[in-house]
């Protein structure tokens, strides 16, 4: 058992033994809302999964305001449809088309879809769907915070009595785990519950008598858990589309307590393939189904004739490990270029707008090419032979394009352990060892077997068939 697995098992055992899912505030099981932030910060001690979020300017999140009138009209004119798709506003350029790689395939299936778009300044400058948006909800949240006194709480003026169940829950964590929460943490949980209640109210009005199912990716945020709760009360099935690495080490997809009513998990999780479905421990009310990944199928088709460059090496960044990986990439480039290799550094979409502040050293080194545009990452996977990272989903995807994958042995690499043990991914400790493994060229296992297990073929048809079963 890895260190990460051991921490997760201790965490799951602790929350089960102390029955943390029993606690409620205003009818909301708030442990479901805070368990992941607490695990990330106090168990695996990651302060911020995306440090670039600290760099946003005050005006970044206000860009959606110009769309408010359009979204009001869209809401008024909304007609009954089969699917409500709640999705961040995110796009890539794929085969010369600007699409959302996670949900645009819904336009291809035999169901009508309405898009409810969440604006995310890190991923897109504009709004690409003609659906509804949470623009008005943001104003409502602000007014609610004033009513709830949250603005005064932030300045240290506390006029609201702390909820007894929240106090009891956090006292358990303080005493038994020696966690030191700041003095306003109880109030922040109370505000989070108010958020949940507000989102739920909005979604119930949006869903009622209009949709047969709701689809989204990444259930584990307050908004989507409120969406799940609202849909369940209206007997509308909820479906999560896998968006990244999940499995036996992912805190959001593993439970010992298998009750479902107090966890706000979706009714169904559509996974990329059996590899992912077989490793989750989710409550009995949630059914994982292997369907595939439409973007992979699309890319496999239009990139099938791309020639793989044998001397191209690509590093794949992400917020949690970006600093360490970028430093490794710089050191590696210095020695690899002498041997005729071309080195590229692919940024995570959330890093593209702020990488010059996050990783300034990359600016000073011309021998490494930084990829910071919203292109289809599969074009890179198909054209390069060697792929380096820690635990990014892209490393799994590289195997679907017959790439050779190396995992940097730092915190978080344990997500790759199964593939390392099976020989599909090679572990390394520093730039010298990495170059030796690449030059040596031995120990590579054929990828064909794992590829189908990771990413099931005919995904769009599979998804259409499963939705048909669910809503009929």
Are residue 262 and residue 338 in the same domain, yes or no?
Answer: no
Specify if 235 maps to a domain. Answer: yes
Closest listed residue to residue 201, CA positions, set 190, 189, 193: 193
Are residue 146 and residue 265 in the same domain, yes or no?
Answer: yes
* CA 6 vs CA 279, 280, 384, 410, 422: distances in Å: 16, 16, 35, 16, 21
Are residue 235 and residue 171 in the same domain, yes or no?
Answer: yes
Are residue 191 and residue 315 in the same domain, yes or no?
Answer: no
CB–CB of 419/440 below 8 Å?
A: no
Are residue 303 and residue 437 in the same domain, yes or no?
Answer: yes
Are residue 436 and residue 357 in the same domain, yes or no?
Answer: yes
Q: What angle do CA 276, 98, 376 make, to 5 degrees?
A: 45
CB–CB of 266/286 below 8 Å?
A: yes
Domain that holds residue 39: 3-57+134-293+459-471
Specify if 108 maps to a domain. Answer: no
Tokens 């085969």 found at = 95
Residue 16 phi/psi, 5-degree rounding, is -75, -45
pTM over 0.85: yes
Are residue 311 and residue 431 in the same domain, yes or no?
Answer: yes
Are residue 348 and residue 423 in the same domain, yes or no?
Answer: yes
Are residue 275 and residue 309 in the same domain, yes or no?
Answer: no
Rounded distance between C-alpha atoms, residue 339 and residue 433, angstroms: 14
pLDDT in tens, the chain (472 residues): 555 558 889 999 999 999 999 999 999 999 999 999 899 887 776 544 454 444 455 455 566 666 677 777 777 788 899 999 998 777 777 777 778 878 888 988 999 998 887 766 666 666 655 677 666 666 666 666 665 555 455 545 456 788 999 999 999 999 998 888 887 888 889 988 988 998 999 899 889 999 999 999 899 999 999 999 999 999 999 999 998 889 888 999 999 989 888 999 999 999 999 999 998 999 999 999 999 999 999 998 999 899 999 999 999 998 889 999 999 999 999 999 888 999 999 998 888 888 898 899 998 888 999 998 878 899 999 999 999 999 999 999 999 998 999 999 998 898 898 899 988 999 999 999 999 999 987 556 666 778 889 999 999 999 999 999 999 8
Specify if 76 maps to a domain. Answer: no
Closest listed residue to residue 469, CA positions, set 273, 204, 291, 296: 291
Are residue 244 and residue 144 in the same domain, yes or no?
Answer: yes
Rounded distance between C-alpha atoms, residue 464 and residue 191, angstroms: 38
Are residue 365 and residue 466 in the same domain, yes or no?
Answer: no
């Amino acid at each position: 058992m890895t260190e990460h697995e051991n921490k997760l098992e201790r965490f799951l055992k602790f929350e089960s033994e102390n029955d943390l899912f029993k606690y409620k505030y205003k009818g909301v099981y708030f442990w479901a809302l805070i368990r992941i932030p607490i695990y990330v910060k106090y168990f695996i001690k990651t302060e911020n999964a995306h440090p670039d979020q600290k760099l946003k300017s005050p005006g970044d999140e206000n860009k959606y305001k110009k769309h408010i009138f359009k979204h009001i009209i869209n809401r008024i004119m909304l007609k009954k449809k089969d699917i409500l798709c709640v999705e961040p506003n995110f796009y890539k350029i794929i085969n010369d088309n600007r699409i959302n790689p996670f949900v645009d395939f819904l336009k291809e299936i035999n169901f009508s879809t309405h898009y409810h778009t969440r604006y995310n300044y890190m991923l897109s400058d504009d709004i690409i769907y003609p659906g509804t948006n949470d623009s008005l909800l943001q104003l409502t949240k602000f007014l609610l915070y004033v009513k709830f006194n949250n603005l005064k709480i932030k300045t240290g003026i506390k006029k609201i009595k702390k909820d007894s169940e929240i106090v009891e829950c956090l006292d358990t964590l303080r005493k038994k785990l020696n966690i030191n929460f700041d003095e306003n943490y109880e109030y922040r949980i109370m505000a989070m519950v108010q958020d949940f209640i507000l989102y739920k109210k909005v979604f119930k009005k949006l869903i009622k008598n209009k949709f047969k199912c709701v689809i989204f990716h990444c259930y584990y945020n307050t908004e989507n858990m409120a969406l799940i709760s609202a849909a369940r009360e209206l007997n509308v099935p909820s479906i999560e589309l896998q968006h990244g690495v999940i499995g036996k080490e992912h805190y959001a997809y593993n439970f010992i307590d298998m009750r479902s009513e107090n966890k706000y998990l979706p009714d169904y999780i559509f996974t990329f393939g059996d590899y992912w479905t077989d490793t989750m421990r989710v409550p009995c009310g949630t059914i994982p189904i292997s369907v595939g990944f439409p973007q992979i199928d699309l890319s496999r088709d239009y990139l099938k004739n791309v020639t793989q460059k044998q001397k191209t090496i690509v590093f794949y960044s992400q917020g949690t490990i970006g600093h360490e990986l970028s430093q490794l990439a710089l050191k590696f480039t210095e020695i690899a270029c002498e041997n005729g290799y071309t080195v590229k550094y692919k940024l995570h979409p959330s890093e593209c707008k702020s990488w010059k502040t996050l990783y300034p050293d990359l600016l000073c080194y011309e021998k490494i090419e930084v990829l910071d545009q919203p292109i289809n990452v599969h074009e890179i996977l198909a054209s390069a032979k060697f792929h380096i990272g820690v635990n990014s989903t892209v490393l799994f995807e590289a195997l679907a394009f017959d790439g050779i994958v190396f995992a940097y042995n730092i915190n978080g690499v344990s997500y790759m352990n199964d593939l390392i043990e099976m020989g599909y991914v090679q572990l390394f400790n520093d730039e010298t060892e990495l170059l030796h493994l690449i030059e040596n060229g031995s120990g590579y296992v054929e990828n064909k077997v794992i590829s189908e297990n990771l990413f099931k073929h005919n995904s769009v048809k599979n998804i259409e068939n499963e939705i048909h079963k669910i809503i009929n």
